[in-house]
């Protein structure tokens, strides 16, 4: 089967990671899957012409009902849609977008939600199409390279490796951008770490929004969350060191949580020390 797959393919985003993973799975099953960026098309008519070209596509798939699914409304082959968080958290609040999303859901052969909660919210805010919506959780597969050393990784990140076996390391995978702003997590986790220094948080992901990234680093700096002995620019230098180290820890797939983590290519860690306790925080 030849399939057209539409998604928002902005670099270093969860959509891109998820789309590539699904495309790979489809092709491994023996089908042909052409992944295209939804931003390439201005109207459903353009996609309809693409689908009907020779040899024609036999089906289609889209991530996000509004951003990509609306482009499939004019095609004459069956298609499925995959809910994105933006569909329910943002787009459904806009009446014009909600109407289009309902049209897409009505015409789609099936719809996929990654969580039960996302399905419930879709049924609440959109026309009830519960029979079409199936829940298929995402997963993540990790592989450490043969040369990867956990102790060295923590040390290079500014985390004390004196009690490596006792540390409880939490990993948040997300690229820094407004919709993925983890600043509130900094304060909460810092307090928790103050109570128990063995709790460590590591954020893995690229600096997608340089302005927000600068704001986050400013907050980290103002709270004294820098490695011991670092100069004022230590946070940036530490980031580059950890970025190189982090590439040794390959993350494939998509991490789905209420924080909206995304598989990505780098690592970002902020760490610091207060007067009475040591903080390791995003």
pLDDT at 143 over 50: yes
**Is residue 161 located within the same domain as residue 271?**
yes
**Is residue 167 located within the same domain as residue 202?**
yes
Q: How far apart are the first and last CA of the chain?
A: 45
**Is residue 266 located within the same domain as residue 164?**
yes
**Is residue 227 located within the same domain as residue 185?**
yes
Confidence band for 223, pLDDT divided at 50, 70 and 90: low
Into how many domains does the chain fold?
A: 2
**Is residue 168 located within the same domain as residue 277?**
yes
**Is residue 226 located within the same domain as residue 152?**
yes
Rounded distance between C-alpha atoms, residue 216 and residue 210, angstroms: 10
Confidence band for 24, pLDDT divided at 50, 70 and 90: very high
Confidence band for 226, pLDDT divided at 50, 70 and 90: very low
Region 121-136: what's the mean pLDDT?
83
The domain of 80 spans: 2-135
pLDDT at 82 over 90: yes
Instruction: Say if CB 137 and CB 102 are below 8 A apart.
Output: no
pLDDT at 173 over 80: no
Percent of the chain with pLDDT over 90: 37
pLDDT at 254 over 70: no
Q: Tokens in use for 126?
A: 């959109």
Q: What are phi and psi of 134, to 5 degrees?
A: -115, 150
Task: Please state the pTM of the whole predicted model.
Answer: 0.64
């Amino acid at each position: 089967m030849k399939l057209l797959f539409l998604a928002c393919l902005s670099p270093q985003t969860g959509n891109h990671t998820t789309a590539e993973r699904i495309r790979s799975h489809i092709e491994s099953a023996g089908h042909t899957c052409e992944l295209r960026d939804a931003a390439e098309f201005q109207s459903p008519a353009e996609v309809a012409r693409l689908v009907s070209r020779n040899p024609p596509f036999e089906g289609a798939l889209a991530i996000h009902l509004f951003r990509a699914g609306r482009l499939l409304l004019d095609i004459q082959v069956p298609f499925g849609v995959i809910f994105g968080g933006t569909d329910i958290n943002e787009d459904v609040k806009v009446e014009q977008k909600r109407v289009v999303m309902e049209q897409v859901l009505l015409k789609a052969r099936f719809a996929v939600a990654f969580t039960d909660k996302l399905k419930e919210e879709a049924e609440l805010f959109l026309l009830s199409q519960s029979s079409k919506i199936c829940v298929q959780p995402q997963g993540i597969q990790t592989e450490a390279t043969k040369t990867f050393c956990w102790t060295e990784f923590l040390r290079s990140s500014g985390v004390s490796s004196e009690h490596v076996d006792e540390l409880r390391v939490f990993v948040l995978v997300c690229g820094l951008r407004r919709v993925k702003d983890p600043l509130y997590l900094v304060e909460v986790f810092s307090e928790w770490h103050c109570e128990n220094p063995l709790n460590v948080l590591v954020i893995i992901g690229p600096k997608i929004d340089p302005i927000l990234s600068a704001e986050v680093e400013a907050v980290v700096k103002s709270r004294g969350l820098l490695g011991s002995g670092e100069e004022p620019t230590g946070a940036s230098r530490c980031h580059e060191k950890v970025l190189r180290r982090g590439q040794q820890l390959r993350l494939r797939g998509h991490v789905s949580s209420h924080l909206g983590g995304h598989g990505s290519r780098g690592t970002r860690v902020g760490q610091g020390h207060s007067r009475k306790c040591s903080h390791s925080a995003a």
